[in-house]
Structure 1
Amino acid sequence: MCRTPPEPAGSRRRRPCISPTACSPSAVPPPAPSWTLLATRRLPTPTWDCRALSERLRLPAGSILEPIPAGAWIRPESAEQDLAPLRARLINQLHPDPQAPHLVIGAPGAEPVPATDVRTLFARLPESTRRRALFDLLQCFEDQPGEPGQVLADVLKTRIAADEGVLLAVPGPDGVEERTLTANGQLRWSPFATHFAYQPRPPEGEATAPFPARYRAPFDGLIEIGPGQYRLGSYAVLELTRSGLWLRPPTPDPATRQARAVPRDPSSAKLLFSASNADEAALLAQLAREAHGRLTSDARQASRILPFPPAGRLPGRPTGKPDAEAVDAAPVPAVPVN
């Protein structure tokens, strides 16, 4: 464990405990550094630390900027008791990155934070900190309809890295693992792609599709051919998506945009596969099972193999929200967190 320098007199300490039992005495300390947020500064000091992320203040449209060890939380002005559980999670289990601040936006079920308040904070950050910021979006923007990550990139007029949700930390076999948080407070699975890059929409034309900005390979031995895209033999490409993994032919088909847009389900991961005909579907289904077998035990238990589009629906035909039908499902064990 790392050593934390002595506190200055009168400072307040908030130390994250990365533990599956929320700081229980029996928890095993993680090998990653512990972090301390004092009233005046974070220790050890991350490269992104700055005054704008260290002071609690009210933003022009009424939102509250609240420092947390991993960065800052822009939240609505709501009753403290309503936000206390989420605040405790963000302080204790949002893993600090020494190179990149997390900017958590909003709170589930609460009044949305206006995008203008996010823009106000972003403008106050040093340029180097703006480039590294990681947005964790817990809301949509009512004043700017659309996909939250794309809305924010358009409002800030710059490329951003965003995640529609927040991942919380538990000890893993190789250090700290970041897991999804369900509505009932359980931690479930560890996504391979945590944040996606969004480009500002051009003045005339459509927005470009987001692509993985922070990610890891699902297993060893893969050849990366693009951000979060891996060649799987001669017949398929394995992509990292919000919902988990997507296995497709080397040439993208009409289902591409929809498959990439399938939202993350905090309860379980999806391993989607797409094909344009029955023979190709049989091959890709077999490759999907083989890829599933190469995942770690935890990842296998947390994921389901699914065809996309679902059976009976044609690629490119509007069906509302993207979805899928299970062809093979496994129970997903929850990680107990008190």
Structure 2
Amino acid sequence: MRTALRGRSARAEASTGPPALERSDIGGVLLIQPRDSHDGLAVEFAGGLTPDPHHTQAVLDLPARVTRETWKAAARLLRRQGHSFRIVLGRHEGVESLAGLQQLADLLRREILAPDAPVGAAAGGWLWIPEDRGSGWLRFTPGMVPRLVSRRFPEPAWEPGLRDTTWQPAQGATAEPLPAGVWLRPQHENDPGRHRHRLTTELAARTDRLTVVIGSPMGGSLPTAAITGWWAALPPATRRAVRFVQYGPSEIANDFGQGLADLLGSPVTLCTGLPERTGAATDVRVHTVLPEGTRGWRPFAQDVEYSPRPRRGGPSTQPRIVSHRRPVPDLPEITEDVYKQTYRYAPGAVLEVVRSGLWLRPPYDPPDADLVRRAPTAPAHAVIWHDTTVSATADEMRTLAWQVRERLGTATAQDCRVLPSHRAPRPSPGPSASQAADHPPAPRPGRSVAPSRETEQVPDTSIPPGRQPHWTAHPGVRRLLTGGSVGGPASTLSDAVARRLASELRKLPRFEGPVVVRVQSDTPVALGLYQPHRLVTEWGFWPASTNLREIDAPLDTDGESRGPVTFVVWSVNARATRALEPNAPDRVVFLPGTAFRVLPAPDVPSAVVLLREVPPSEAVSEDGGTTAQLDKDALDGLKQAVTDMPWARSSRRTA
């Protein structure tokens, strides 16, 4: 940050002649440089330094050749300016500079703190000495040998307990010091320099928080042994200052914060994103980190504390939000419960900050409160949940949730999805810390993106754990599930198997939300048949995928297509077949006879068809006699789902 010069320049009255130096005050930092030689970079550097409450700060931008007379001239300008000094040299000449600084301390008869090598500028005006340059800041005392003080300025309270050089806490992993703390990354990183520069110049540092960055974007999975090995080397008193940041993949599965607490057997604090600040800016902004390393959205919950699960099993303690940012200005905060971040929003409605985003609910805890509060932070988007447990107020809560979204501002609102609270994901039982790396990641919440009406509650008829239907091994069944035939005449074998298969599939969990089907065909697909509001029926098993990210960009067509056609469908009754097909966890299947309504899609490519599944309980007719509200809700969700597809994001960036 550039700071204007303040105060008069004081020139050294050196009777011996050159070098003539002058002193300027740059926002409380003394800048000493040759007379009539004003370096704008030196002024900017001095103005961006973090204040030191204990020492007078000075930047010595001295000429290339520094003699004893130069140090004497500098001493005359610094005399009577403070009881001790923190000095940064514009040009550091190694041993010669160290000898000169000791001479300056002797001349001033004052204590001086100065680095033993050129400093590196870090976020927020911090100064530190990378280990490939030197050891750190030295204390020069008159008549005594210099002593090492710290690698960083300001000096963090946690630094004395930190192993502050690069080392290997486990095979295949590296612990590398940062201005803000330490970076645990895979040893063989493709491009560590780019991420190192970001973590040095943008990652916010705090004197009371040791920030531990885990992993590297698009890099290998960091082994859990690296985390436990580094943790074991940290003194217990220093562990209380640790704040973890997930920057890349690791072997910890499911909820990263909870898995970390289980792994270490200790309460941990996790930042929901990367806390960053640029230059000397005082405000810190937390952004989630997308898989490729780019910035995501700004979470409202910023620091979350997790406690390890009981050793004998059982549910974990509800994570506690330690710090958050105010979602909407001027809302009165409710302070009765210090463990909940809630604001009064409307009569009978409060707005609570949760890990995944925000939650519009009644003033009391609804039955699904635990699920909503446990929903983890999704890197790509926020969720505004609205309560659906009370049918009389469900519509009002939904309206208020959309109102909150509009009040968040364009930049924040575009990263928010509005969802009913009954769609909050159920947490997995959670593996033990020793087994965490052997389990696949938990499914992300928030796949469905539009509010919908509450559907009829049905008993849980899912297959008990450890059991599978006896017919799952039949190859014909597997072919039917994937859209093929069983290999026999349709009138004999398929009908019998299909009836039994449909009956058993109804016992599987239903999936509600957007799914995608890509049709590859060498024959024309008459897109003209899919006119808006028309009813179509699929008489076979129709497989689809809940993973919208795997779909490539669709092509525009002139009404017929010999290539791929993408159907994006709002499902209400498709059956999730994960229990039958562990290798295809994203697959769902629509049962034979399922009806769909074609929805208007003027803003999507012509080779994309939007459909809404019409459940049997809904009264419909061929002329489109269904409620407009259901069509509108599904259309809103499908449009957002299409917008969130990778090819749609790419087209927006290149537009």
Same fold (TM over 0.5): yes
**Selected match of 1:325 from 438, 449, 454:** 449
The answer (yes or no) to whether the contact 2:215–2:248 under 8 Å persists in 1 is: yes
Distance 2:347 2:254 in 1: 37
Unaligned runs of 5+ in 1: 18-31
Distance 1:231 1:164 in 2: 21
Distance 2:339 2:264 in 1: 23
Deviation string, structure 1 residues 140-173 (Cα, Å, up to 9, x no partner): 553x544221122122221110135434335899
SS at match of 1:161: strand
Is 1:14 aligned to residue 126 of structure 2? Answer: no
Residue 84 of structure 1 corresponds to 193
Is 1:198 aligned to residue 306 of structure 2? Answer: yes
In the TM superposition, residue 298 of structure 1 has moved relative to its aligned partner by 5.9
Percent of matched pairs sharing the same residue: 28
TM-score by length of 1: 0.77
Residue 36 of structure 1 corresponds to 128
Distance 2:217 2:294 in 1: 15
Deviation string, structure 1 residues 211-252 (Cα, Å, up to 9, x no partner): 212223323422233334214245233222232212223343
Residue 113 of structure 1 corresponds to 222
Is 1:229 aligned to residue 341 of structure 2? Answer: yes
TM-score by length of 2: 0.43
Distance 1:87 1:138 in 2: 12
Deviation string, structure 1 residues 25-81 (Cα, Å, up to 9, x no partner): xxxxxxx443434433011212221352421111134411100111100111114x4
Distance 1:48 1:317 in 2: 34
From the CA coordinates, give the structure whose radius of gyration is larger: 2
The answer (yes or no) to whether the contact 1:69–1:96 under 8 Å persists in 2 is: yes
Distance 1:317 1:213 in 2: 21
Q: What letter corresponds to residue 363 of structure 2 in structure 1?
A: P
The answer (yes or no) to whether the contact 2:277–2:283 under 8 Å persists in 1 is: no
Distance 1:59 1:94 in 2: 22
Deviation string, structure 1 residues 295-331 (Cα, Å, up to 9, x no partner): 4x36644443512247xx69979996432424677x9
Residue 369 of structure 2 corresponds to 256
Is 1:239 aligned to residue 352 of structure 2? Answer: yes
Is 1:304 aligned to residue 402 of structure 2? Answer: no
Distance 1:273 1:89 in 2: 37
SS at match of 1:102: strand
Q: What letter corresponds to residue 88 of structure 2 in structure 1?
A: P
What is the RMSD of the two structures over their aligned residues, measured on CA atoms?
Answer: 3.7
Unaligned runs of 5+ in 2: 1-47, 51-56, 58-86, 95-115, 136-150, 429-441, 452-635
The answer (yes or no) to whether the contact 1:100–1:129 under 8 Å persists in 2 is: no
Q: What letter corresponds to residue 119 of structure 2 in structure 1?
A: R
Residue 45 of structure 1 corresponds to 155
SS at match of 2:290: coil
Distance 2:398 2:280 in 1: 30
The answer (yes or no) to whether the contact 2:297–2:380 under 8 Å persists in 1 is: yes
RCO comparison, higher one (Cα < 8 Å, 6+):
1
Is 1:155 aligned to residue 263 of structure 2? Answer: yes
The answer (yes or no) to whether the contact 2:268–2:305 under 8 Å persists in 1 is: yes
The answer (yes or no) to whether the contact 1:148–1:164 under 8 Å persists in 2 is: no
Distance 2:316 2:427 in 1: 20
SS at match of 1:187: coil
- Decide whether aligned partners of structure 1 residues 193 and 174 sit closer, same or farther in structure 2, where only a CA change above 3 A counts: same
Deviation string, structure 1 residues 253-305 (Cα, Å, up to 9, x no partner): 4533443344434444332212214431222123324444554x366444435
Is 1:166 aligned to residue 274 of structure 2? Answer: yes
- Decide whether aligned partners of structure 1 residues 11 and 51 sit closer, same or farther in structure 2, where only a CA change above 3 A counts: farther
**Selected match of 2:394 from 248, 268, 281:** 281
In the TM superposition, residue 180 of structure 1 has moved relative to its aligned partner by 3.0
The answer (yes or no) to whether the contact 2:288–2:379 under 8 Å persists in 1 is: yes
Q: What letter corresponds to residue 11 of structure 1 in structure 2?
A: A
SS at match of 2:277: strand
SS at match of 2:276: strand
Distance 1:267 1:172 in 2: 28
The answer (yes or no) to whether the contact 2:273–2:302 under 8 Å persists in 1 is: no
